[in-house]
């Protein structure tokens, strides 16, 4: 009886130890910056502005909700979460399902697939100035994403987050175009802020007959976390 009891205690201890280690590793590797659990949701205030011929051609504001719906295993044996994206114009409007995205998590990276475009959003472990190519799984030109301000506080929409990591998805500025895309993730919350500014300039007076920094076309999109939680 004593031996059986000892074995039960040992097995229980090993099981608890593995569970605790996995949780610690999620924090250490940085996976806690993009938590995923069925029922989790995040609501964002979105502003999308389009530019054309150096003026605003269209501007829209709305709310976007991402909700973790289901979990399945893909053909490579990787856990993959299906997220349902819904939109509404005003906070008192009903949600309208808009699209579906999937998030695939491996030991080394997190991939997000939407409209048949797969992007590496994060790599693990998260560390300052680590770089990677977000376009490994698509046909776009290689990119150069980078972590900055890892483990730093960040405030957005009146909410203070003590531990965040910023991803510079792209940071390119020239005389003919600008492509600056930034995402901020908070530990145990996920994406809290997103700012994309993609503009095409015309600086050749012989072609455009305009001054410098004339915007031919482009857009700016910001997403700010409004609330988050878990559905029943």
Q: How far is Cα 165 from Cα 130, in angstroms, rounded to an integer?
A: 12
Q: Give pLDDT, residue 2.
A: 45
Query: So what's the pLDDT on residue 73?
Result: 93
36 touches 81 (CB < 8 A) = yes
Q: What is the pTM of this model?
A: 0.86
Q: Concatenate the DSSP letters of all residues of the chain into one string.
A: -HHHHHHHHHHHHHHHHHHHHHHHHHHHHTGGGS---TTEEEEEEEEEEEEETTEEEEEEEEEEEEEEEEEEE-TTS-EEEEEEEEEESSTTSPPEEEEEEEEEE-SSEEEEEETTEEEEEEESS--TT-EE-TTTTSSSPP--EEEEEEEEEEEETTEEEEEEEEEEEEEEE-SSEEEEEEEEEETTTEEEEEEEEEEEEE--HHHH---TTEEEEEEEEEEEEEEEEE--
Q: What is the pLDDT along the chain (232 residues), one digit of tens a residue?
A: 444 444 433 334 433 344 433 444 587 799 999 999 999 999 999 999 999 988 888 999 999 999 999 999 998 889 999 999 999 999 999 999 999 999 999 999 999 999 999 999 999 999 999 999 999 999 999 999 999 999 999 999 999 999 999 999 999 998 889 999 999 999 999 999 999 999 998 876 656 766 667 888 999 999 999 999 998 6
pLDDT given at position 4: 45
pLDDT for the residue 189: 97
Only one residue has tokens 């590793």, namely 25
Would you say 182 and 195 are in contact if contact means Cβ atoms under 8 Å apart?
yes
Structural contact between residues 163 and 150, judged by C-beta atoms closer than 8 angstroms? no
What is the model's pLDDT at position 176? 86
Round to whole Å and give the CA distance between 166 and 144: 14
The CATH class for the domain spanning 32-230 reads mainly beta
């Amino acid at each position: 009886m004593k031996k059986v009891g000892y074995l039960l205690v040992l097995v229980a201890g090993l099981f608890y130890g593995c569970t605790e280690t996995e949780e610690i590793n999620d924090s250490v590797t940085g996976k806690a910056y993009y938590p995923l659990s069925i029922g989790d949701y995040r609501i964002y205030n979105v502003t999308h502005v389009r530019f054309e011929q150096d003026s605003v051609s269209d501007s829209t504001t709305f709310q976007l909700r991402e909700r973790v719906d289901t979990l399945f295993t893909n053909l490579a044996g990787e856990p993959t979460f299906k997220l349902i994206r819904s939109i509404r114009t005003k906070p008192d409007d009903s949600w309208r399902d808009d699209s579906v995205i999937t998030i695939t998590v491996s030991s080394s990276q997190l991939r997000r697939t939407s409209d048949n475009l797969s992007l590496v959003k994060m790599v693990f472990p998260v560390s300052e100035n680590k770089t990677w190519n977000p376009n490994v799984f698509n046909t776009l030109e290689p990119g150069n994403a980078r972590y900055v301000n890892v483990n730093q506080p960040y405030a957005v929409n009146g909410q203070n987050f003590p531990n965040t990591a910023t991803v510079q998805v792209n940071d390119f500025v020239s005389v003919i175009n600008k492509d600056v895309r930034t995402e901020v993730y908070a530990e145990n919350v996920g994406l809290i802020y997103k700012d994309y500014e993609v503009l095409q300039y015309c600086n050749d007076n012989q072609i455009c007959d305009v001054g410098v920094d004339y915007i031919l076309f482009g857009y700016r999109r910001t997403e700010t976390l409004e609330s988050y939680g878990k559905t029943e």
